[in-house]
Amino acid sequence: MNKLTEEETRVIINKGTEAPFVGEYTDHFVEGVYACRQCDTTLYTAQDKFHSGCGWPSFDDEVKGTVRRILDADGRRVEIVCANCSGHLGHVFEGERFTEKNTRHCVNSISLTFKES
């Protein structure tokens, strides 16, 4: 496991949310892969990233088997976590019609690292 900063811990471990439109990967569109900041598991590819205008990085698919979905305690949203280390990534939404896959993983930039290919 990687050592996390106080802010990374607030989001990844304590299930916080970074402010919209401030994350380093919100408007980042470069070929490569996005990995979990806590454990380095590859979660998303650049091919699945799209601009949703929501203020956080958006993906319409994950690397198979790497992201787990958990219903929030309020029953309204579905949290997404790294399947390897359970680090909080953000939330997933369906039915918004942003892409043909009709899915949006709304991910905190601070939960990710990027590896260019």
Residue from 39, 54, 82, 106 carrying the catalytic annotation: 106
d(CA 50, CA 108): 14
d(CA 76, CA 88): 17
Q: Which residues sit opposite 113 in a β-bridge?
A: 35
82 is catalytic: no
**The two three-digit tokens of residue 56, written as one number:** 């956080």
Catalytic residues: 106
